[in-house]
Structure 1
């Protein structure tokens, strides 16, 4: 064996020993990191599967509850919505709470329905949904609470920044009309009629309200009256 071959074998042995020593020292860390990566990937896939599975289950439960409503089984529907609220994904739980509040209103329990909408609004962090809950509660409050209660819920929504501003104006205007504050009611109805984002149906309702005001002795655009303002129990078409 030549001297060069001998030196090469010695170098290879040394490299092999160093590699073995390195592996003995760091193998637990390398294996642990690999296992962690595998576990993270597996956990992520499991979470996706679980979320998809629970969403599908909640969807089935939700539409089953809606079918119960359509069949007139209100008690069964309320129980089904309560189950979704308790264990379903957040989105379906929120939908179930809206339906539950609506069922209370349909059953004639306006006080409980208003409280349910108030609780929804207080617990929601999504602005549009929170405003929707407040608007729905305020429509009920028109016939069961005073103007201050309606204004407390939607008074901050009648500005240009809210997409539901015309619903807020309508509820507030109806409450003001009922209380005999004709000028304030007229201002809200005119704002609805003049707003470029007002839908055709709501704009038509606003003109009906203004026609009603005009027929009771107040001009629908100038605010001039031909006599005394109508009593607070005067009739005006209610919002749908």
Structure 2
């Protein structure tokens, strides 16, 4: 006797269910121990990851306290007390703390007028691909400032030319050094134009803008901002 459509569907579902059970049993009999091993390995890996996360956070907290203590010592003119923790942090696997510590080390040397030593540390930061680009650019600018008197004008332009543009967050600092390099090369027109752009740069620090206005005027470029721009700068 033929099955009704409803009975036929029920029969097919039962067959399908039995087939899945047979397949599952076959898989378990042949691969069960490997599945268990994979589950155990996954749990061990997950537990290890949780431990690593906890350990990393704890380590970062400890490094943060060390860095604050070092900066506190520097602010109190106790550079010797800050020397050891800064050296340790400079070798940290955390690129953030490592860069911050090295910046502080460079500041200490520059304060002592050790321009060569400070510049060497800043150069290492600028070349470190693990450090965010913004901080690498800052290190390059500060390195160039420390070495400025020993550099040829073309070296300054080559180093900082890509940062001496309006869209750069370091436009003021980089642009000012490039403009002076242009003057040393006898390129008054290029220097005047750049000073004029710096003077009207919205994100440029006010002190740099004021110097740029004066220099642009000396070079025959009208860079005095209008009243609206001046209020915005304030």
What is the number of residues matched between the two proteins? 200
Specify the alignment match of 1:221 in structure 2.
222
- CA change 1:21–1:130 in 2 (3 A) is closer
RMSD: 2.9
Could you tell me how far 1:49 is from its partner in structure 2?
Answer: 0.2
Specify the alignment match of 2:61 in structure 1.
56
Q: Is the 8 A contact 2:166 2:201 kept in 1?
A: no
Q: Is the 8 A contact 2:90 2:102 kept in 1?
A: yes
- CA change 1:21–1:146 in 2 (3 A) is closer
Unaligned runs of 5+ in 2: 1-23, 224-234
Aligned pairs for 1:61-76 within 5 A: 61-76=66-81
Structure 2 distance, partners of 1:191, 1:50, is 49
Specify the alignment match of 1:91 in structure 2.
96
Please report the TM-score for the alignment, with normalisation by the length of structure 1.
Answer: 0.71
Please report the TM-score for the alignment, with normalisation by the length of structure 2.
Answer: 0.73
Tell me which of 208, 224, 227 is aligned to 1:202.
208
Tell me which of 165, 168, 180 is aligned to 2:171.
165
Task: Give CA-to-partner distance per residue, 1:186-224, whole Å, 9 cap, x none.
Answer: 33221201223324343223224445xx3xxx43439xx
Unaligned runs of 5+ in 1: 1-18, 223-240
1:188 aligns with 2:194: yes
- CA change 1:26–1:180 in 2 (3 A) is closer
Task: Give CA-to-partner distance per residue, 1:99-121, whole Å, 9 cap, x none.
Answer: 11121111101122122211211
Tell me which of 114, 117, 122 is aligned to 1:117.
122
Task: Give CA-to-partner distance per residue, 1:41-100, whole Å, 9 cap, x none.
Answer: 201111110110111011011111101111212233232211101235221011111111
Higher mean C-alpha deviation, range 66-75 or range 173-182: 173-182
